[in-house]
Structure 1
Amino acid sequence: MAAEYATFGLAPATRAGGVQADGDFQVHRDFMDFLVDGRPLLFRLCDLDAVSPLASDVPPAIFTAQVRGLLLETDAPLPGGRHVIYGCPECADLACGAVTAVILRDGDDFVWRDFAWQTAAHADLELNGYHGIGPYRFAGAEYRAALATLLDGAVRPRRRVLLIGARVALLARLAAALRTIGIGADITEDARDVPADELRSYGAVAFGRAVTEDRRASVRRAFADAGVDVRPVDGLAPIVPVLVAQIEHALDRGPAERRRLTRLGASAAAADVEVTSPCRVRLTAYRLDRLHRTHVHEVFDGVLAPGDHRLPLDAGAVKGEAFVVARAPESVLVTAVTRGAPGGRGPGNPG
């Protein structure tokens, strides 16, 4: 069979959720992505907003069935031996479209071939085939070992955040927005009275701008005493979509080298964005006027090639206290707009 050997692995990945400028939202999803020769397979599919069937929020029985299907211990869910490799992150309905492939055994090896975009029971390879992807041959022992770790009990991401701040109404709106996109959120004044077992369920703790340093230190000590490596989030502004984006970034535990959106900086003139592989990037500017009202401007939406990009910003969109949120399908970055040259590492950026 004409397929060269490739290494197979799995790695935690995130489909970033968020609150859109128009009030709509997209759901946050954590899932296991497939690594082919050490690189996420999803990155080979330009501008695709999708997740694998190995998502952390699916019921355990369905999750196990998905793994056993990839191991060919059960029949393929689609005709022709086809399996869903990536599907719709919102509903997982085939009608929304999915990347599928034939999975079969060849001796002790597993082969993935005939990748296609599919919206009905049968795939049209001539019209919708991914002709530049695969076939891939995976050594059976390596393939089975990677998937078997999921059957032994994969570590599920901690998709909860503890919110601490003085503006109760804002925190309530933020918690509601986070829950809407699938992230658990709780509000407290102090973490010292929270049981250690409960503290271990949080992946991030977010502080409002009015929280004193003494209070922040007390919360950090409570998490440290519970043995929790929690990500702190210092709220940039009383703007719910900006805070949601900051928390999304904090909850992303994937390694930096497996992210497509890797850097964001912004000045009054331009935003600097770095991506590692072709992907759709959306930039949204938020600013507060003198009356602390929020103004939102969509400043860019398009597919960017790998590398550094400088994208112009309208001066009116970032006047005064302003922030820029950059979103790719699997990640999000936030930065405050500086009044100097763009390109620095603003708050919320890696590093």
Structure 2
Amino acid sequence: MKNTLSYKTQTTLEELEGAMQSQKFYFDFMIDRKPLSKILGAKEDGMIGVLSTHKHGNYEIEKISELLLEKCSELENGRVMLYGCAECLDIMCGAITVKVEEINTSVIWSDFAYENEYEEPNFEPYKNIGSFEFDKETYKKLFTEMKYLY
């Protein structure tokens, strides 16, 4: 049975070293109605979803295109960033990435890892999570519709 994928608006406002950080709104991926950020522990690591409201559209559309496999990933290893630094979403600050594959009538997210571009991807924290398999047509429809939000 395939997994269901949807999204939900989330917000974060955190205090870091006594100073309030700016409030961020982002879309969290929901897999079978469970927040992927919670499954992966992204919030605990100070990360937000890459589909946010503070990069002003072009960045998010590029990320959606990567998730749709319409555009090559910005990462040399071809993996796609799902969660990153709440302040800048820069891979150098650390990010949670995923391998995205299209196989027949499915899109599969697998091999979740922590990456920062100066060390090898660390799969260990997520070794017991996934793979998630989505219906290709439903997946493409979801992300194509999300492009219109930007």
Give the TM-score, by structure 1 length.
0.39
**Candidates 139, 142, 148, aligned match of 2:138:** 142
Instruction: Tell whether the 8 Å contact from 1:10 to 1:146 is kept in structure 2 after alignment.
Output: no
In structure 2, list runs of 5 or more residues that go unmatched.
none
| CA distance in structure 2 between the partners assigned to 1:147 and 1:113 by the alignment | 18
Instruction: Tell whether the 8 Å contact from 1:33 to 1:40 is kept in structure 2 after alignment.
Output: yes
Instruction: Tell whether the 8 Å contact from 2:5 to 2:139 is kept in structure 1 after alignment.
Output: yes
Structure 1 position 30 matched with structure 2 position 20: no
Instruction: Tell whether the 8 Å contact from 1:5 to 1:136 is kept in structure 2 after alignment.
Output: yes
Higher Cα radius of gyration: 1
Partner SS state of residue 9, structure 2: strand
Match of 2:60 in 1: 63
- Tell which has more relative contact order, 1 or 2 (C-alpha 8 A, sep 6+): 2
Partner SS state of residue 51, structure 1: strand
AA aligned opposite 1:142: T
CA distance 1:38–1:61, change in 2 (3 Å): same
| CA distance in structure 1 between the partners assigned to 2:99 and 2:91 by the alignment | 16
| CA distance in structure 1 between the partners assigned to 2:119 and 2:80 by the alignment | 11
Deviation string, structure 1 residues 154-203 (Cα, Å, up to 9, x no partner): 6xxxxxxxxxxxxxxxxxxxxxxxxxxxxxxxxxxxxxxxxxxxxxxxxx
Aligned length: 148
Partner SS state of residue 29, structure 2: strand
Shift of 1:25: 2.2
Deviation string, structure 1 residues 15-74 (Cα, Å, up to 9, x no partner): 2245x683x222211011101011110011232321111001212222211111111100
Instruction: Tell whether the 8 Å contact from 1:78 to 1:121 is kept in structure 2 after alignment.
Output: no
| CA distance in structure 2 between the partners assigned to 1:82 and 1:123 by the alignment | 12
RMSD: 2.0
Shift of 1:129: 4.8
Instruction: Tell whether the 8 Å contact from 2:13 to 2:20 is kept in structure 1 after alignment.
Output: no
CA distance 1:78–1:122, change in 2 (3 Å): farther
Shift of 1:125: 4.2
Matches within 5 A, 1:1-351: 5-18=2-15, 22=18, 24-46=19-41, 47-120=44-117, 123-125=120-122, 128-153=124-149
Aligned sequence identity (%): 24
In structure 1, list runs of 5 or more residues that go unmatched.
155-351
| CA distance in structure 2 between the partners assigned to 1:116 and 1:94 by the alignment | 12
Give the TM-score, by structure 2 length.
0.87
Match of 1:193 in 2: none
